[in-house]
């Protein structure tokens, strides 16, 4: 984002783009919102978008496209094999990362699937800074296990640590000493660490991890789905990178890794995914799974129109004005909530603003899905759809016990270039009201609990009649306002 000073002395992030195409929004009356969340089993994933006012569920596949991306889509070359579109995307990725080989896949988890198939053997471990739901599920599905070794600040809700996504280097050395090269499938570093609040790692930390992996002959796999946020933070927060260009930082991150993969629903402002590597053997090892599970090697399950948009989006990712819009809006929203004492994760990260549900609702035990209950309550009182990132997003243990999540968060994602400042101000206003009325919010219990990735489609019900009481208080305070 450009450096623009205000005469007033205030700093407000400014959109370095203008809106050319719009989608009309709908804010239902509270009674209808109550009915909608009931029908959705108190799971915001199951809400119909027509019933949602501000969709802050995710930044995945819902980022706004640029006019250049839209223009590029019209030149898509729709051929099964050897399409010119593929070569344009390959060229864009080779430009950004300077890695020779590119394998397309339909989205991020598809990359995780084929990478796990290629590298993970039963009993092996994958050390990582922190897991993402799908990355963990693919590894455990194949009999592997994950080991999370972030720095200890990662779990501090409020911190001044600029790089909470860093890996604990001593812990990495320890696991390598204990398990040896054979016991470790690969080491995974996740840029813009999703589940701990979109927190970045530093280039220095990545380089240290890389050095250890290379000395031990263990592949380093980097999940760069949230690369654009991490690039912004490295440039902003890492003194030694202050004078580096975004592209130089991206290339240094790629050079430190053996394989990188991404969800094109986040990186590149489009939809799709892919795997890049400079290692021919890894490329050959992974390659066979692409036609088997994804599609032929020159589309990998993606539509060629999306691939064209992704190629342009990759170049846009190198533009500081473009990639700083998200983190700056998130910082603004987080700081506004702090002014009202609302508990949030700090420092502000990428992806979205994260409410700390355990401090927001200290009277609710995690076994009643604190963050799930908060997400449900927030939708009822505002029409804002957030996402539970806590115990509901965990998987029940084989013995039926409930693994309580390290953190109970409600993620309010800000898809890139989508929301305007007044919409952020509205969300802050309603969250503040909810915080003042937090004692009215009760817990949830399962109605239908699926075994795998239950948070996506499981349904829950409120414990008691707290939702009616909450809606009644809203009516009392807001009258006939939506």
Which positions lie near ligand F0G, rule CB under 6 A?
58, 60, 107-109, 132, 134-135, 190, 194, 223, 225-226, 263, 265, 273
Rounded CA-CA distance 301/88 in Å is: 16
Nearer Cβ to ligand F0G, position 108 or 278?
108
| DSSP single-letter state for residue 341 | T
Q: Pick the closer one to ligand F0G by CB: 53 or 132.
A: 132
Q: Is 266 marked active-site?
A: yes
Q: Which is nearer to ligand F0G, 194 or 346 (CB)?
A: 194
CB of 357 to ligand F0G, least distance (A): 17
The CA-based diameter of the chain, rounded to the nearest angstrom, is 66
Nearest to 26 by CA among 375, 384, 381: 384
Is 11 one of the annotated active-site residues of the chain? no
Catalytic residue of the set 88, 266, 358, 430? 266
**By Cβ distance, which residue is nearest to ligand F0G?**
108
Cβ neighbourhood burial of 297 (10 Å; 0-12, 13-18, 19+): middle
Q: Judge whether 223 counts as a catalytic residue.
A: yes
User: Which one from 109, 133, 435, 473 is the annotated catalytic residue?
Assistant: 133
Q: Is 477 a catalytic residue?
A: no
Q: How far is CA 432 from CA 198, 335, 412, 425, in A?
A: 22, 12, 14, 11
Q: Which long-range contacts (CB under 8 A, 24 or more apart) does 79-87 make?
A: 80/296, 80/298, 80/299, 81/296, 81/297, 81/298, 82/298, 83/298, 83/299, 83/304, 85/299, 85/304, 85/307, 85/308, 85/311, 86/298, 86/299, 86/304, 86/307
Nearer to ligand F0G among residue 345 and residue 441 (C-beta) = 345
Active site residue: 5, 7, 80, 160, which one?
Answer: 80
**Minimum distance from CB of 190 to ligand F0G (Å)?**
5
* Minimum distance of ligand F0G from residue 90's CB (angstroms): 19
For residues 482 and 475, what is the distance between their CA atoms, to the nearest angstrom? 9
Confirm whether 160 is a catalytic residue: no
Q: How far is the CB of 8 from ligand F0G (least distance, A)?
A: 36
In 202-303, alpha helices (H): 203-216, 227-237, 246-255, 280-287, 289
CB 450 → ligand F0G: shortest distance, Å? 17
Provide the 8-state DSSP code for 80.
S
Q: How far is the CB of 375 from ligand F0G (least distance, A)?
A: 13
Q: Which is nearer to ligand F0G, 134 or 216 (CB)?
A: 134
Which is the catalytic residue, given 51, 59, 168, 223?
A: 223
Burial call 11-23: b when 16+ CB within 10 Å, e when fewer: eebeeeeeeeeee
Q: Which is nearer to ligand F0G, 225 or 324 (CB)?
A: 225
Does residue 305 carry a catalytic annotation? no
Indicate if 6 belongs to the active site: no
Catalytic residues: 80, 132-133, 223, 266, 389, 455
């Amino acid at each position: 984002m450009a450096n623009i000073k205000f005469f007033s002395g205030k700093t407000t992030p400014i959109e370095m783009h203008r809106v050319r195409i719009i989608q009309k929004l709908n804010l239902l009356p509270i009674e209808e919102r109550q009915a909608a969340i009931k029908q959705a089993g108190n799971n915001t994933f199951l809400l119909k978008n027509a019933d949602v006012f501000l969709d802050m569920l995710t930044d995945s596949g819902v980022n706004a496209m640029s006019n250049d991306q839209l223009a590029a889509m019209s030149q898509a070359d729709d051929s099964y094999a050897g399409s010119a579109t593929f070569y344009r995307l390959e060229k864009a990725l080779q430009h950004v990362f300077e890695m020779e080989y590119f394998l397309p896949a339909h989205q991020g988890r598809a990359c995780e699937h084929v990478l796990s198939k290629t590298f993970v053997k039963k009993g092996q471990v994958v050390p990582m800074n922190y897991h993402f739901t799908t990355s963990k599920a693919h590894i455990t599905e194949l009999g592997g296990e994950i080991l999370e070794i972030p720095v200890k600040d990662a779990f501090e809700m409020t911190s001044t640590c600029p790089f909470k996504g860093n890996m604990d280097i001593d812990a990495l050395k320890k696991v390598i000493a204990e398990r040896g090269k054979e016991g470790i499938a690969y080491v995974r570093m996740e840029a813009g660490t999703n589940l701990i609040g979109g927190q970045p790692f530093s280039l220095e930390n990545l380089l240290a991890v890389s050095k250890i992996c290379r000395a031990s002959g263990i592949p380093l796999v980097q999940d760069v789905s949230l690369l654009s946020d991490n690039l912004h933070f490295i440039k902003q927060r890492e003194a030694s990178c202050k004078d580096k260009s975004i592209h130089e930082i991206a290339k240094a991150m790629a050079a430190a890794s053996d394989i990188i993969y991404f969800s094109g629903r986040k990186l590149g402002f489009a939809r799709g995914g892919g795997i890049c590597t400079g290692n021919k053997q890894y490329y050959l090892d992974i390659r066979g799974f692409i036609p088997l599970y994804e599609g032929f090697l020159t589309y990998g399950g993606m539509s060629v129109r999306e691939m064209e948009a992704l190629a342009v989006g990759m170049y846009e990712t190198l533009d500081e004005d473009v990639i700083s819009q998200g983190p700056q809006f998130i910082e603004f929203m987080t700081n506004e909530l702090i002014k009202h004492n609302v508990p949030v994760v700090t420092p502000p990260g990428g992806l979205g603003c994260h409410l700390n549900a355990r401090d927001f609702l200290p009277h609710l035990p995690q076994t009643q899905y604190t963050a799930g209950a908060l997400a449900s309550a927030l939708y009822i009182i505002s029409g804002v759809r957030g996402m539970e990132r806590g115990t509901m997003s965990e998987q029940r243990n084989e013995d039926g016990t409930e693994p309580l999540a390290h953190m109970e968060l409600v993620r309010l994602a800000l898809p890139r270039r989508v929301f305007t400042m007044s919409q952020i101000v509205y969300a802050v206003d309603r969250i503040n009201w909810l915080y003042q009325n937090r004692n009215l919010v009760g817990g949830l219990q399962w109605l239908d609990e699926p075994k795998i990735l239950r948070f996506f489609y499981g349904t829950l019900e409120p414990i008691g009649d707290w939702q009616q009481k909450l809606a009644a208080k809203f009516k009392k305070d807001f009258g006939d306002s939506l």
